[in-house]
Amino acid sequence: PEDKEQAQQIQHEDLLSLVLKVLRSWNDPLLHMVSEVQDIQEAPDTILWKAVEIEEQTKRLLEGMERIVGRIHPGDLENEIYSPWPGPSAAIPGDESSRLFAFYNLLHCLRRDSHKIDNYLKLLKCRLIHDGNC
């Protein structure tokens, strides 16, 4: 869905499925990001720690969502992803600015998708817990 109105038209089962697909689509990019950050010699430890934390939190959220969907639809957990990751962009070896720009773009997309997931979950909470009275 492109906006709130479109998201409100989607059945809650399909919205849950969409959240799972988006979360799954981040597995490979986040794994790659952590691996790349570990290879940067001059990177502060806090950057590596944050990259690992983001990866772990995303995995925990995905596991929680899979448990919820598993309770609603037992045995109906597709392993589909929303948008397969084509892999890292071909940065020029040793070109640190290209590498950092690729990280920036990756984190920008993660932030955008995180906001979408947050909004979808708030919409689901409103529908399922508050009977749409939000």
CA–CA separation, 132 and 123 (whole Å): 8
- Give pLDDT tens digits for 2-40: 888 899 899 988 999 899 999 999 999 999 888 888 887
CA–CA separation, 97 and 66 (whole Å): 38
pTM of the model: 0.81
- Give pLDDT tens digits for 72-90: 777 766 676 666 777 776 5
CA–CA separation, 112 and 94 (whole Å): 29
43-55 b/e with 16+ CB inside 10 Å = b?
eeeeeeeebeebb
| Domain boundaries, given as residue ranges, for the chain | 9-129
